[in-house]
């Protein structure tokens, strides 16, 4: 029997071939939606009935699309967060939902540190100036020896903390779920969110999006930060109130920000693009060759296990197996 697999992810199968080959070697035929095409809800509803499994990226998978599925046994997220998928609808339909947490954590942690260094040394504006024929004297600030505030000490937050130790930084963190053993080992202090914002020179966000974290960083929170502080959001765009961030940057309430995620992607016409102290990247935190290969293999193995009647790791709604 040949299983039909649909991938709507713009990255699965395009940069690492091993996951596709793995599926093909396990009686799976896979269709990849072209990278330059964003499949609409109507298009997905029209074709989803014939597939046994689905691989998705950051595109929205709605209740209507899930209800149109007839043979679907698993939705595999080619990444970690599943806030773009209607989990309740999938569970109600008896469809397993899995993700690949941790597979891209090194890639995301690397970019976090890279963005902080780019902000601190004004690398983007220096590059633009030199390309434009100028040779300015740009005076930045040092990253090492400062206070780093990490909002969310999960897998990515922990790897950011390890990297920060190499810069001799004092690390503060806020998280509702505490890993006291890790904090003791790495000299990290758990404090309140307000304390993280007040005391940190650099603040990075590594939390999932949910009702309690939507617009978590707004006008009040930004007003607590130091005027010389930098903010990096590499988690989800809706965690930061972009209007409040624009005002804070315009009024020099904080020194700069780097965003890899936005409330709307792509963020066409965002006023943040007019700010010289903003670095914008295209939700690329997880995109390294190594991370895409590892994430893809987690998805491919999970799909094969489900289709062969086994329970894979990283299933979010395990109640469907009861």
Catalytic residues, by residue number, are: 236, 265, 283
Q: How far apart are CA 104 and CA 242, in angstroms?
A: 25
Q: How far apart are CA 55 and CA 8, in angstroms?
A: 6
Q: How far apart are CA 148 and CA 120, in angstroms?
A: 13
The answer to whether 160 and 150 are in contact (CB under 8 A) is: yes
Helix, strand, coil fractions of the chain, as percent rounded to 5: 40, 15, 45
Q: Which one, of 287, 289, 241, 280, lies nearest residue 261 by Cα?
A: 280
The answer to whether 155 and 104 are in contact (CB under 8 A) is: no
**Dihedral through CA 159, CA 173, CA 122, CA 275, nearest 10?**
120
Q: How far apart are CA 82 and CA 60, in angstroms?
A: 10
The two three-digit tokens of residue 88, written as one number: 């309740």
Please work out, in degrees rounded to the nearest 5, the angle formed at the alpha carbon of residue 14 by the alpha carbons of 114 and 157.
30
The answer to whether 157 and 175 are in contact (CB under 8 A) is: yes
The two three-digit tokens of residue 301, written as one number: 């193995």
Rounded alpha-carbon distances, angstroms, from residue 180 to 26, 109, 183, 208: 43, 21, 5, 20
Peptide bond just before 266 cis, omega within 30 deg: yes
The two three-digit tokens of residue 93, written as one number: 């339909």
The DSSP H or E segment spanning 150 is strand 147-151
15: how many CB neighbours lie within 10 A of its CB? 13
């Amino acid at each position: 029997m040949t299983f039909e697999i649909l991938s709507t992810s713009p990255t699965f199968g395009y940069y690492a071939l091993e996951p596709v080959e793995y599926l093909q070697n396990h009686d799976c035929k896979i269709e990849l939606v072209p990278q330059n095409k964003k499949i609409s809800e109507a298009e997905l509803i029209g074709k989803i009935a014939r597939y046994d499994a689905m691989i998705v990226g950051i595109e929205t998978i709605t209740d209507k699309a899930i209800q149109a599925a007839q043979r679907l046994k698993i939705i595999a997220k080619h990444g970690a967060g599943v806030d773009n998928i209607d989990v309740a609808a999938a569970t109600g339909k008896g469809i397993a939902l899995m993700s690949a947490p941790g597979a891209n954590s090194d890639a995301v942690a690397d970019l976090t540190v890279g963005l902080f260094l780019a902000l601190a040394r004004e690398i983007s504006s220096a590059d633009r100036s030199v390309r434009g024929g100028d040779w300015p004297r740009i005076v930045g600030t040092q990253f090492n020896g400062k206070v780093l505030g990490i909002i969310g000490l999960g897998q990515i937050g922990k790897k950011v903390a390890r990297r920060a130790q190499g810069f001799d930084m004092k690390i503060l963190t806020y998280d509702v779920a505490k890993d006291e053993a890790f904090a003791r080992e790495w000299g990290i202090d758990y404090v309140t969110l307000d304390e993280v914002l007040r005391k940190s020179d650099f603040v990075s966000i590594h939390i999932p999006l949910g009702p309690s974290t939507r617009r978590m960083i707004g006008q009040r929170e930004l007003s607590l930060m130091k005027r010389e502080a930098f903010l990096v959001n590499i988690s989800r765009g809706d965690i930061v109130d972009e209007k409040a961030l624009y005002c804070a940057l315009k009024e020099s309430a904080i020194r700069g920000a780097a965003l890899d995620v936005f409330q709307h992607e792509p963020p066409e016409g965002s006023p943040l693009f007019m700010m010289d102290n903003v670095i914008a990247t295209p939700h690329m935190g997880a995109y390294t060759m190594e991370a895409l290969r590892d994430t893809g293999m987690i998805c491919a193995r999970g799909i094969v296990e489900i289709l062969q009647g086994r329970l894979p790791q990283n299933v979010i709604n395990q109640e469907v197996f009861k």
